[in-house]
Amino acid sequence: MALFSSKQKPSEVSVVPEHIGIIMDGNGRWAKKRGLPRQAGHVTGAKVFRTIAKHCEKRGIKVATFYTFSTENWKRPQEEINAIMNLLREYLKESLADFKKENIRTRFIGDRSMLAPDIQELMHEAEEATANKTGMILNIAINYGGRAELATAIRAIAAKVKDGTLDPEAIDEACIEKHLYTADQPEVDLILRPSGEYRLSNFLIWQCAYAEYVFDEILWPEFTTKDLDNALAVYAGRHRRFGGV
């Protein structure tokens, strides 16, 4: 049962968000419902991610940010964390070649310092390989947290003030945005979260100041391009006032 509705049909949608954030949720529950280990849900969810990312580009979205692994996910069982990291390695080694065929620029946002050196190197190679693409920017959020992102930005700004290269009076919203992982990208227009949860979960908390939200009970491994089209139809039917009338 979807938790949203729209008067527009997906085929009639003419307005699409510039930047969409997707919280890929429900992998573990999907596996549990089928008597499978949680890792099986992550494997299926990774396949869905590739399909949905390509469909975002096809629909004309300029930036798509996928919440892959949060700063809080380290609290999960070590076996599950290891499985996720191994899946990430597999994706970077094999699946990324699939995106090289697409006009998609891949970027990773989050704190890489806690990731294994080989994963960090693969992430760097992936970004370099797609740096000259001119189509959609694909942000993959790994070891990402909105609060941690703001703390990182504040430390960078404070360092500039300390060394005299930045006047404290010059610190405004634009200054802060330039120090975020998503610097020079448009603000988030739409947040999409399947799995029946109604939380932002520390995802893009600065960038989502005026984002629209669409929630769905579908678990991520069951999510389809049709579900994305339905969410875009809902977004197109919203009247965004940005504090005005």
Q: Of 27, 73, 103, 118, which is the active-site residue?
A: 73
User: pLDDT band at 98, cuts 50/70/90?
Assistant: low
What is the domain count for the chain?
1
Among the listed ranges 81-95, 115-129, 136-150, 164-178, which one has the minimum average pLDDT value?
81-95
Residue 13 covered by a domain = no
Any bridge partners for residue 65, and if so which?
Answer: 21, 139
Residue 243 covered by a domain = no
pLDDT at residue 140 greater than cutoff 90: yes
Q: What DSSP line would sit under 59-103, residue for residue?
A: TT-SEEEEEEEETTGGGS-HHHHHHHHHHHHHIIIIIHHHHHTTT
Residue 196 belongs to domain spanning: 21-236
Q: Of 25, 189, 216, 227, which is the active-site residue?
A: 25
Q: CA dihedral in degrees (97, 185, 110, 53; nearest 10)?
A: -40
User: pLDDT band at 96, cuts 50/70/90?
Assistant: low
What SS3 state is found at 172?
coil
Q: Which helix (H) or strand (E) holds 193?
A: strand 190-193
- How high is the pLDDT of residue 1? 37
Residue 113 covered by a domain = yes
Q: How far apart are alpha carbons 201 and 161 in whole angstroms?
A: 31
Residue 138 covered by a domain = yes
Residue 6 covered by a domain = no
- In the predicted model, what is the mean pLDDT of residues 105-111? 95
- How high is the pLDDT of residue 2? 46
Residue 73 a catalytic site member: yes
pLDDT at residue 5 greater than cutoff 70: no
Q: What DSSP line would sit under 102-153, residue for residue?
A: TT-EEEEES-GGGS-HHHHHHHHHHHHHTTT--S-EEEEEEEE-HHHHHHHH
Residue 133 covered by a domain = yes
Q: What's the pLDDT tens digit per position in 48-93? A: 999 999 999 999 999 999 999 999 999 999 999 998 999 889 888 8
Q: Where does residue 27 rank: exposed (0-12), middle (13-18), buried (19+ CB within 10 A)? A: buried
- How high is the pLDDT of residue 160? 98
Higher pLDDT, 173 or 3: 173
- In the predicted model, what is the mean pLDDT of residues 144-155? 98
What SS3 state is found at 214?
strand
Instruction: Output the domain CATH number for residue 205.
Output: 3.40.1180.10
- How high is the pLDDT of residue 99? 64
Q: How far apart are alpha carbons 144 and 112 in whole angstroms?
A: 9
Residue 28 covered by a domain = yes
Q: How far apart are alpha carbons 27 and 6 in whole angstroms?
A: 26
Q: What's the pLDDT tens digit per position in 190-219? A: 999 999 999 999 999 999 999 999 999 999
Higher pLDDT, 129 or 208: 208
pLDDT at residue 13 greater than cutoff 60: no
Please state, rounded to an integer, the average pLDDT across all residues of the chain. 91
Residue 202 a catalytic site member: no
Greatest alpha-carbon pair distance for the chain in Å reads: 59
Residue 46 covered by a domain = yes
